[in-house]
Amino acid sequence: MNKVINTENAPKAIGPYSQAILAANGMLFVSGQIPVNPLTGKVVEGGIEAQTEQVFKNIEAILKEAGYGMKDVVKTTCLLNSMDDFATMNGIYARHFTEILPARAAYAVEKLPMGVLIEIEVIAYK
């Protein structure tokens, strides 16, 4: 049976979806996280660097709530408002994945929710 994962340490869903779903087979599907500070409900300022760091804080909070960690992430999808931000995002990304490097896709998209510069979703398994 699937289990809904929610934590106050990550932004509330801004639509009809869950922060994450833990499937019966141990796979954890984390919805795309944007750089919203869960305490204020506002997008963090500071450009792609600050936004990418906030996205990872949100992802890590959800993983922790489910009993998972970054080492359990097997796949990521990174959505960027501009591929001009790819190198900066990639450098920050590399600091958060140090044990096992998950499979990844990265795309530039026309628009992201709330006008943010980045959104990342992950799949974890253990």
**Cα 34 from Cα 86, distance rounded (Å):** 16
Query: In terms of Cα–Cα distance, which of 37, 19, 26, 28 is closest to 76?
Result: 28
Q: What is the pLDDT of residue 28?
A: 98
Report the pLDDT value the prediction gives residue 45, as an integer from 0 to 100: 94
Map out the domains of the chain as residue ranges. 3-125
- Strands (DSSP E) found in 3-102: 3-5, 20-22, 27-33, 73-80
Q: What is the mean pLDDT of residues 105-116?
A: 96
Confidence class of residue 14 from pLDDT cuts 50, 70 and 90?
A: confident
User: Which token pair is 3?
Assistant: 């289990």
CATH number of 3-125: 3.30.1330.40
Report which residue type is found at 73: V
Element (H, E) at 103: strand 103-108
Q: How far apart are CA 2 and CA 21, in angstroms?
A: 7
Would you say the pTM of this structure is higher than 0.85?
yes
